[in-house]
Amino acid sequence: EDKVVQSPLSLVVHEGDTVTLNCSYEVTNFRSLLWYKQEKKAPTFLFMLTSSGIEKKSGRLSSILDKKELFSILNITATQTGDSAIYLCAPNNNDMRFGAGTRLTVKP
Amino acid sequence: GAVVSQHPSWVICKSGTSVKIECRSLDFQATTMFWYRQFPKQSLMLMATSNEGSKATYEQGVEKDKFLINHASLTLSTLTVTSAHPEDSSFYICSAKAPSGRTDTQYFGPGTRLTVL
């Protein structure tokens, strides 16, 4: 059975802090790993990772995939209150199951 | 970028009625669409995978006779919640897979908030 585990489930930090969110997975027919940010409505796409060891960056966010150890991390540096959201990861295979998500709260 | 629409964005209905939610991919053809349900403060739970022209594949614990899925074309999938009850009140989100090079990218609709009275 496919498994997706995200940690921590919840995280409270102050503006300016750096956070690392974890996603581990065990799925069949793995093709890529997707990260999403969800605020009030539907998730918005952040990254798609297909190759191990190649960091993807978008502003203060970056992510990397380790296909051997079956995990990915999402880093956010110099956090801002606008980063408060649920961050979801999903291995891309025939099914698209999400992890439980990490609820990040950034305090001023 | 690819766009997926959902309609309606919110609906309130009486217990026992049926509600249909539409999911459309507006600028690409989606051979596969997914339906998720999300309860407050919880993650997206996959309900079913919908493939164009074939029967949907339901996740364990999801009643196929209650949540009817029809993927009639490459741009439209519908979810019908039959005989809705208050416990079906939730946020329903669809997504569509668009081929992107060698791997597929998934795009979400804006979601439908269902409230059953």
**How do the pLDDT tens digits run along chain A, 108 residues long?**
788 999 999 999 999 999 999 999 998 888 889 999 999 888 888 999 998 999 999 999 999 999 999 999 999 999 999 999 999 999 988 778 899 999 999 999
Measured between alpha carbons, how far is B71 from B16 in angstroms, rounded to an integer?
A: 24
Strands (E), B2-117: 4-7, 10-13, 19-25, 32-38, 45-51, 57-58, 67-73, 76-81, 90-100, 103-108, 112-116
Of B42, B93, B104, the CB nearest to A92: B104
Pairwise CB contact (< 8 Å): A92 & B42:
no
Nearest Cα of chain A lies from the Cα of B19 at a distance, in angstroms, of 20
B111 interaction partners in chain A (CB closer than 8 Å)? 41-42
Q: How many CB pairs under 8 A join A and B?
A: 55
How far apart CA B11 and CA B18 sit, in angstroms, is 11
